[in-house]
Amino acid sequence: MKIAFIGLGNMGAPMATNLAQTHDITGFDTVAKPAGLTLAESAAASVKGADVVITMLPNGAILKAVADDIHPAMRKGAIHLDCSTVDVASARAVAQQAEAHDLQAVDAPVSGGIGGATNGTLTFMAGGPENAFEKVRPLFDIMGQKAVHCGPAGNGQAAKICNNMILGITMIGTCEAFALADKLGLDRQAMFDVVSTSSGYSWSMNAYCPAPGIGPQSPADNGYKPGFAAVLMLKDLRLSQQAAKDANADTPLGKAATELYELFVEAEGMGELDFSAMLPRFEKRSRSD
């Protein structure tokens, strides 16, 4: 399968490298020039003759600009597989534009972070025509461990946004609980042993514990060097609140989590730390702060 891969940053480069083991890959990025990949001079040049064009881009505005550039240059019947995390409206607009150019589009944002991209263990949440999803399924099998077809165009983004809103909320709750346990004199290991096997069980506690030295290895054990940076959590929470506004959905905890990560990232300058670094933030604060 001939593939173009546009967006070769921290996520895109390892995804493209994994695909290059078994497929003909031509990449393009305005900044990054990773070794070991065949690179084109422009986005439009990279897609010539490609069966599938994969994009991994920072936001909806950039995605739409790239789509404007590449869709006229893609061969009829090719698939635009977008793995970016963007707003639902942009994903659906790009899918409509693809159809107008006799192309197919699949929006398939990912979960699993840089480690998942490197190790080929990502989870893909896909929206778009089922036949297009089935055509690119072999690529999901190389880049990840699971791919779920979530329905029509934009539903992949909807699934990602809802998932990460839950994640942001539960991580804050987990960090608050550890900080409260500290002040109550409850040992962190005892706290973990109870909660991880009780009704407080969650991925934030059991798989990604924000307390150093507790539970499985996590960014907390590496100085909160990011597996998923707080600035990216803020991006996804903001997308959730834009989607909630567009859908007239009441998400008070999602709104509160967004506001807290805005404070953490923008006012306190902690955006480059892992999103679980909320725990040391709460450790230093009292109820009156």
pLDDT per residue as tens digits for the range 203-224: 999 999 999 999 999 999 999 9
- pLDDT at 287 (0 to 100): 87
d(CA 277, CA 27): 34
* Last residue within a domain, chosen from 117, 152, 187: 152
54 with 83, same domain: the answer is: yes
Is 48 assigned a catalytic role?
no
Mean pLDDT score of the chain: 96
Query: Over pLDDT 90: what percentage of the chain?
Result: 97
Give the DSSP letter string of 185-211.
Answer: T--HHHHHHHHTTSTT--HHHHTS-SS
> Whole-model pTM?
0.91
210 with 264, same domain: the answer is: yes
Range of the domain at 238: 158-284
Query: Do the domain assignments include residue 31?
Result: yes
* Last residue within a domain, chosen from 152, 168, 201: 152
Query: Do the domain assignments include residue 6?
Result: yes
CA angle 82, 86, 90 (to 5 degrees): 85
Nearest to 4 by CA among 60, 82, 76: 82
Mean pLDDT of 51-55: 98
Query: Do the domain assignments include residue 262?
Result: yes
d(CA 99, CA 104): 6
Tokens of 72: 């006229």
From the candidates 135, 160, 183, 255, give the one annotated as an active-site residue.
Answer: 160
Give the total residue count for the chain. 289
Does position 289 have pLDDT exceeding 90, yes or no? no
pLDDT per residue as tens digits for the range 144-193: 999 999 999 999 999 999 999 999 999 999 999 999 999 999 999 999 99
Query: Do the domain assignments include residue 138?
Result: yes
* Last residue within a domain, chosen from 137, 152, 167: 152
Query: Do the domain assignments include residue 261?
Result: yes
238 with 181, same domain: the answer is: yes
16 with 141, same domain: the answer is: yes
Q: pLDDT band for 113, please (50, 70, 90 cuts).
A: confident
- pLDDT at 29 (0 to 100): 97
Task: Specify the number of domains making up the chain.
Answer: 2
261 with 247, same domain: the answer is: yes
168 with 192, same domain: the answer is: yes
